[in-house]
């Protein structure tokens, strides 16, 4: 199979071909594309109809970008990187500005293993590898490539100024500015700065990466995002810091004035944010309770509030009664999407030119499909990635062997059911088993814990993950405490958080206190305070242990829960 270009084509011819494909190709090709894909579904983006089924079968990562979704970069199972499309401003990185309907290989990126990618409006592209290196190319009129010039970059070049010995783990682009997050929680920005979006305190463009300091100086940032001309950062304690353009209230500060340096959103005091996502001029955040807040521009209903009025303060978005686990937006569109814990996908905002002002339940299985089928332009809001399924890593091989009676040399009998395991793995992975297992053991009866709990524990030793409903995770928390498995204890707390509601909040708080799970205890306490009226009317509160009740009331009083 030849993945190299046959020839470049004139821009007008390429535009005509792409236009025809956008109008007619999707239905005819979707079945073929989907059957060719192992897991990564790119068939809903018409530009992939330029690729053969054989080429698509090899794709492991992909990003459709550009002003009309007319450019794409993808990586194959062999870590080769290819591009095709219009090539506006040299954004394909091929060394020229020629459009191409044949995939062209980017030799400089082959073998690099892409970790994350983002793009601007020019467009320009910012890419980070798994090694933490940063490469940029494309439009550069505002120094958004970070190389100290304003010359367009026609090939990917590494950005090293001020990033030497730094490992970049996340990238984000606004219309013409760039931002990266390092593994030690530092944020660096560069590019267009007419509204303070690089956070330097001035409005002068920034030609090279510089660390964003001010009130982020001693903070550890865990997530970043960019709107068209604004920037956002979430720090490890769940606070959100914002800077840049604020004409539509997209900074959530209660005003419309621009902000040249990072400023904390005071209206989110006491709320722990996990993720932030930015649209063209609106912002979404996801809290650790699975709740969405939105603010900013709302002319298409992209805030999901039921109207089209802009909001300069964080406003709750009601997505049914289910817990939200993912939010999606991108700075080139006015569309919002979310996925719930049960797998339902909702969309709102500008959807195929229509204004959807409330979250609308879709038939999609992922938020990516919302942007493929309903956003304008039809671009990807993130780099789509998939692991190959024809080669098993060591971790995948171990996972496959869990509870396999053909290779196991030990059985646990729990509630009348057998769980098949391997002695050597248990000894390697768990200090408890290292001290109790003997070579002549064949069957061990377990009566201290239920079958679902003990199976989840043993599976965790093979996979590093737990698969257990939140209501059963308390038993696993008990086991983790008894066996002194601190990492498992943290995972249990995360799982339990996902199942919290007004009815069980007190029970979960009691369990957290009992097992000295401080993070879970704080989470449950904050949940109870935020839902105090309903929680105090539950049977769990009526049956609350006297000492726990006393401590709860005292602590609630200290945080002002009973003020008029």
Condensed to tens digits (0 to 9), the pLDDT of residues 12-24 reads 545 544 454 444 3
Q: What is the pLDDT of residues 136-154, one digit of tens each?
A: 999 999 999 999 999 999 9
The confidence score (pLDDT) of residue 11 equals 56
If asked whether residues 428 and 543 sit together in one domain, one would say yes
Task: Identify whether residues 373 and 502 lie together within a single domain.
Answer: no
pLDDT of 564 reads 60
Owner of token pair 């053909």: 406
CA 522, 523, 524, 528 torsion: positive or negative?
positive
| 369 part of a folded domain | yes
Q: How far apart are CA 399 and CA 498, in angstroms?
A: 24
Domain identity same for 343 and 457: no
Q: SS3 for 495?
A: helix
Which residues contact residue 551 at a Cβ distance below 8 angstroms, ignoring those fewer than 6 apart?
A: none
The counts of H helices and E strands in the chain are 14, 28
pLDDT value of residue 3: 38
Residue in 58, 61, 74 with CA at minimum distance from that of residue 1? 58
Count of structural domains, the chain: 2
Q: What is the pTM of this model?
A: 0.76
Average pLDDT estimate for 267-293: 97
Asked if 318 and 454 sit in the same domain, the reply is no
In a shared domain, residues 421 and 366: no
Measured distance CA(496)–CA(176) in Å, rounded = 41
Domain for residue 363, yes or no? Answer: yes
Lookup: tokens for 328? 């999606």
Q: Is 499 a domain residue?
A: yes
Q: Are residues 408 and 553 in the same domain?
A: yes
- Phi then psi dihedrals of residue 191, to 5 deg: 110, -150
**Is 516 within the bounds of a domain?**
yes
Cα–Cα distances in angstroms (integers) from residue 159 to residues 110, 147, 167, 434, in the given order: 17, 7, 12, 48
Pick the closest to residue 178 from 130, 124, 109 (CA basis): 124
Mean pLDDT of the 102-121 span = 96
Q: Please give the mean pLDDT across all residues of the chain.
A: 90
Q: What are the tokens at 325?
A: 């686990």
Per the document, the length of the chain is 564
| Shared domain check, 545 and 493 | yes
pLDDT at residue 35, rounded to an integer: 35
State which of 355, 387, 419 marks the end of a domain: 387
CATH number for the domain harbouring residue 444: 3.30.710.10
Same domain, 300 and 367: yes
Nearest to 235 by CA among 249, 225, 222: 222
Structural domain of residue 424, as residue ranges? 394-558
- Most confident by average pLDDT, 36-50, 152-166, 395-409: 152-166
Mean pLDDT, rounded, for 346-369: 95
pLDDT category, 30, cuts 50, 70, 90? very low
Alpha helix (H) ranges present in 376-439? Answer: 394-401, 423-429, 431-436
- In this structure, the answer to whether residues 348 and 492 fall within a common structural domain is no
Rg (CA), the chain: 26
How would residue 28 be classed by pLDDT, with cut points 50, 70 and 90? very low
Residues 6+ apart with CB under 8 A from 531: 502, 505
Domain-located, residue 115: no
Within a domain: 379: yes
Count Cβ atoms within 10 A of the Cβ of residue 27 and give its class: 0-12 exposed, 13-18 middle, 19 or more buried: exposed
Q: Do 432 and 489 belong together in one domain? A: yes
Are 377 and 416 part of one and the same domain?
no
Cα angle for residues 493, 498, 504 (degrees, 5° grid): 85
Same domain, 412 and 543: yes
Which of 387, 418, 438 represents a domain boundary (last residue)? 387
Nearest CA among 59, 79, 171, 45 for reference residue 120: 171
Sheet with 114-119, strands from edge to edge, namely 114-119, 124-129, 134-138, 153-158
For residues 418-428, give the mean pLDDT.
95
How high is the pLDDT of residue 391? 65
Does residue 131 form part of some domain?
Answer: no
**Mean pLDDT calculated for residue range 123-141:** 97
Residues 523-536: tens digit of each pLDDT: 999 999 999 999 99
Could you tell me if residue 470 is inside a domain?
yes
**Separation between Cα atoms, residue 423 and residue 541, nearest integer Å:** 44
What DSSP assignment string belongs to 517-539? -HHHHHHHHHHHHHTHHHHTTSH
Of the three residues 387, 406, 431, the one that is the final residue of a domain is 387
């Amino acid at each position: 199979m030849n993945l190299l270009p046959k020839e470049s084509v004139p821009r007008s011819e390429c535009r005509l071909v792409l236009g025809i494909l956008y109008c007619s190709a999707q239905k005819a090709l979707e079945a073929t594309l989907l059957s060719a894909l192992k897991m990564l579904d790119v068939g809903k983006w018409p530009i992939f109809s330029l690729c053969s089924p054989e080429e698509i079968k090899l794709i492991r990562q992909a990003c459709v970008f550009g002003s009309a979704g007319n450019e794409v970069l993808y990586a194959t199972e062999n870590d080769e990187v290819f591009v095709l499309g219009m090539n506006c401003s040299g954004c394909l990185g091929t060394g020229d500005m020629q459009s191409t309907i044949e995939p062209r290989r980017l030799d400089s990126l082959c073998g690099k293993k892409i970790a994350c990618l983002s793009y601007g409006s020019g467009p320009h592209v910012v890419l980070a590898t798994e090694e933490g290196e940063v490469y940029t190319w494309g439009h550069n009129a505002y120094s958004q490539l970070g190389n100290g010039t304003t010359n367009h970059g026609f090939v990917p070049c590494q950005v090293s100024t001020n990033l030497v010995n730094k490992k970049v783990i996340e990238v984000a682009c606004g219309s013409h500015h760039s931002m990266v997050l390092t593994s030690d929680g530092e944020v660096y920005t560069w590019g267009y700065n007419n509204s303070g979006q690089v956070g330097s305190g001035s409005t002068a463009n920034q030609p090279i990466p510089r660390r964003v300091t001010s009130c982020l100086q001693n903070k550890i940032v865990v997530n970043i995002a960019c709107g068209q001309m604004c920037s956002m950062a979430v720090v490890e304690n769940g606070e959100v810091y914002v800077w840049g353009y604020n004409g539509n209230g997209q900074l959530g500060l209660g005003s419309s004035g621009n902000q040249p340096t990072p400023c904390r959103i005071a209206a989110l005091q006491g709320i722990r944010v996990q993720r932030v996502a930015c649209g063209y001029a609106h912002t979404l955040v996801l809290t650790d309770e699975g709740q969405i807040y939105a603010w900013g521009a709302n002319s298409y209903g992209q805030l999901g509030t039921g109207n089209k009025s802009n909001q300069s303060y964080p406003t709750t978005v009601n997505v049914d009664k289910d817990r939200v686990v993912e939010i999606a937006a991108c700075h080139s569109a006015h569309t919002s999407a979310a996925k719930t814990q049960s797998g339902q996908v909702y969309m709102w905002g500008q959807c195929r030119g229509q204004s959807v002002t409330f979250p609308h339940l879709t038939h999609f299985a992922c938020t990516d499909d919302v942007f493929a089928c309903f956003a304008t332009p039809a671009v990807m809001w993130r780099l789509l990635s998939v692991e190959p399924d024809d080669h098993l890593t060591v971790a995948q091989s171990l996972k496959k062997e869990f509870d396999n009676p053909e290779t196991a040399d030990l059985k646990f009998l729990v509630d009348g059911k057998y769980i098949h395991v391997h002695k050597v793995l248990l000894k390697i992975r768990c200090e408890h088993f290292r001290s109790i297992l003997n070579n002549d053991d064949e069957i061990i009866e377990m009566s201290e814990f239920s079958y679902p709990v003990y199976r989840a524990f043993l599976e965790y030793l093979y996979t590093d993950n737990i698969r257990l409903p939140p209501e059963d995770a308390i038993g696993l928390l008990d086991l983790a405490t008894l066996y002194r498995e601190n990492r498992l204890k943290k995972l249990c707390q995360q799982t339990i958080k996902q199942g919290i509601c007004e009815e069980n909040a007190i029970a979960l708080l009691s369990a957290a206190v009992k097992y000295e799970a401080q993070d879970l205890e704080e989470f449950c306490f904050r949940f109870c305070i935020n839902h105090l009226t309903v929680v105090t009317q539950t049977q769990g509160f009526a049956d609350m242990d006297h000492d726990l009740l006393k401590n709860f009331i005292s602590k609630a009083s200290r945080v002002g829960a009973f003020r008029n």
